[in-house]
Amino acid sequence: MLRNVMFIIIIMLFSTTVIILNCSPDKPEPVKSIVIGEKEFDPEVWGKAFTANYESWLKTKEPRKSGLSKYRKGWDDDKVVYDRLSEFPFSAILYNGWGFGVEYNEPRGHFFALTDIIEIDPSRTGPGGVCLACKTPYHKTLVQEKGDKYLKAEFEDALAMIPEKSGKLGPACIDCHKPNGMELVTNKLHIEKGLKMLGKKDPDLNEKRLLACAQCHMTYYVPRDEKMKTAAGVRPPWTGSEWGNISIENIIKDLLSDYQRQEWKQKVTGFKMPFIRHPEFEFFTKSSTHYNAGAGCADCHMPYIRSGSQKISDHNVMSPLKAEMKACLQCHAESSEWLKKQVITIQDRSASLVNRAGYATAVAAKLIETVHKEKTKGVKFDFDQSLYEKAVGFYKQAFLRIIFISAENSMGFHNPSEAGRVLGDAVAFASKSEALLRQILAQNKVNVPEKINLELGKYLNNRGQKKLKFKKDQVLGDPYGLQKEFNDAI
């Protein structure tokens, strides 16, 4: 039996390899003999040599069929935008205190990467020039030429250093390709730093395909000085990790290791905290089934398409659900309906767990707030300080695990079993924290109701913004019914 299974797996892996090899377009030759300058940023110029690729890249500005996706909706007609804090109301409490607690939108096409950061609430762009790291292809050049003058400049001033013509240019050909020969490259200093930390030298072709996306779809922190001002560029929290094994445990250890990584102050607890952004690379490469099978981001987000007589990789990078699962069919023989059902099932499970872990953590946050409030009222707490420290430690462990999975953009799909593991641990840490906090409060005769009032409305509606520019229709409320699911369960 086992041998049969092994045999089937070998056949499947073999056929996948064959499919991958068969699908590859021929070695890219410029359509016309045009030499692209080594520092050519303008995709239109590249487009003169690679018309089909350029045209498909331009399509990242087209509206998506976001109705086809369950958890990544929004931006259909460029007007409606989904607000992540409403999708996961507990995060309005946990993120309150800085930009992510003010405005946190679902992403849209690459074409808008720079536009959207220009339009976001200014509380999100406080760090200045560093914010442009994954938005403009000029970032590396500007850091090399101007250094801190650019990195630490006010956001508006840094923006003005980008040549006017490219003032709204997002991820461009030069971010991922060497101009002539089209070899895949990276164009970000933080991934170069990151690869050194991982001890990775000379990535092979498959790894380069992954890195072209990883250079932006990875987490980072912006080191701060004592006054919480931007101190240096963008850093990956990858101490102690290795290629193919960047665990959440190591990321958390790195992020909690010194004050420079605590980028903001969480309102509800008053703690300085680190944050985690879009860790697609870390999450996917942590032994996911698809990573282990040799697939890269482009296999699912840039399927091969026909363009006239040419076969090219679709540069209109987007969710495979919104692209009608075409990418999956390159390797899978199942129907697109079946595949879509698998995706949604995986995502439903992750969303439910994110929600459970998120509320458990929000409860711990409110109990920490209660302890602090009672203290300021003059209650002399009589408890072993280490008990409180343990509770706080568990709380941070839970909190960072929840951001890790919810800031990751696939709602668990990129690595379902890892999502289950991380969120299971988050629930356990949050519950331990809650139990210790209740113990401390009970010992000191502070009455705590069984059901904690999270005051969700307060956090969702009063985000502390000063200049929030709600230009688009925001989808507020509880679009996935997760809040209801939680209320029904308790």
Min CB(98)–ligand HEC separation in Å: 19
Interface with ligand HEC, residue 191, by CB under 6 A: no
Min CB(487)–ligand HEC separation in Å: 25
Interface with ligand HEC, residue 212, by CB under 6 A: yes
Task: Provide the H-helix boundaries in 223-325.
Answer: 248-255, 280-284, 289-292, 297-301
Q: Which two tokens stand for residue 466?
A: 């000063």
Q: On the CB side of 134, how many CA atoms lie within 13 Å of its CA?
A: 22
**Which residue bears the tokens 């390797």?**
331
Min CB(280)–ligand HEC separation in Å: 4
Angle, alpha carbons 144-298-143 (nearest 5°): 5
Interface with ligand HEC, residue 93, by CB under 6 A: no
Alpha carbons 287 and 289: distance in angstroms, whole number: 6
The pairing of strands 80-82 and 473-475 is parallel
Alpha carbons 362 and 277: distance in angstroms, whole number: 19
Interface with ligand HEC, residue 25, by CB under 6 A: yes
Angle, alpha carbons 438-249-99 (nearest 5°): 75
Alpha carbons 216 and 235: distance in angstroms, whole number: 12
Task: Give 332 or 390: the residue with its C-beta nearer to ligand HEC.
Answer: 332
Task: Give 14 or 259: the residue with its C-beta nearer to ligand HEC.
Answer: 14
- Closest listed residue to residue 408, CA positions, set 488, 490, 351: 351
Interface with ligand HEC, residue 409, by CB under 6 A: yes
Task: Give 193 or 290: the residue with its C-beta nearer to ligand HEC.
Answer: 290
The interface region with ligand HEC, picked from 82-90, 176-184, 260-268, 465-473 by CB under 6 A, is 176-184
Min CB(121)–ligand HEC separation in Å: 14
Task: Give 275 or 459: the residue with its C-beta nearer to ligand HEC.
Answer: 275
Interface with ligand HEC, residue 179, by CB under 6 A: no
Binding mask 95-134 for ligand HEC (x = CB under 6 A): ------------xxxx-xx--x-----------------x
- Closest listed residue to residue 437, CA positions, set 388, 380, 400, 369: 388
Binding mask 47-76 for ligand HEC (x = CB under 6 A): x--x--xx--x------x----x-xx----
Footprint of ligand HEC on residues 455-474 (CB under 6 A)? none
- Closest listed residue to residue 350, CA positions, set 74, 107, 71: 71
Footprint of ligand HEC on residues 339-378 (CB under 6 A)? 339, 342-343
The rounded Cα 476 to chain-centroid distance in angstroms is: 21
Interface with ligand HEC, residue 215, by CB under 6 A: yes
Footprint of ligand HEC on residues 299-338 (CB under 6 A)? 299-302, 312-313, 315, 317-322, 325, 327-328, 330-332
Min CB(153)–ligand HEC separation in Å: 20
Task: Give 103 or 369: the residue with its C-beta nearer to ligand HEC.
Answer: 103
Interface with ligand HEC, residue 209, by CB under 6 A: yes
Interface with ligand HEC, residue 413, by CB under 6 A: yes
The alpha carbon dihedral of 168, 174, 175, 176 has a sign of: positive
Q: Is 304 helix (H, G, I), strand (E, B) or coil?
A: strand
- Are 396 and 256 in contact by the 8 Å Cβ rule? The answer is yes
Taking each helix axis as running N to C, give the angle between helix 385-407 and helix 416-443, from 0 to 180 degrees, rounded to the nearest 10: 150
- Are 328 and 305 in contact by the 8 Å Cβ rule? The answer is no
Q: Which two tokens stand for residue 12?
A: 């499947």
Alpha carbons 187 and 8: distance in angstroms, whole number: 41
Query: 253, 290, 372, 421: which one contacts ligand HEC (CB under 6 A)?
Result: 290
Task: Give 50 or 100: the residue with its C-beta nearer to ligand HEC.
Answer: 50
- Binding-site size for ligand HEC (CB under 6 A) equals 78
Task: Give 207 or 434: the residue with its C-beta nearer to ligand HEC.
Answer: 207
Task: Give 445 or 471: the residue with its C-beta nearer to ligand HEC.
Answer: 471
Interface with ligand HEC, residue 478, by CB under 6 A: no
Interface with ligand HEC, residue 216, by CB under 6 A: yes
Interface with ligand HEC, residue 297, by CB under 6 A: yes
Interface with ligand HEC, residue 211, by CB under 6 A: no
C-alpha dist (Å) from residue 116 to 120, 176, 215: 6, 21, 19
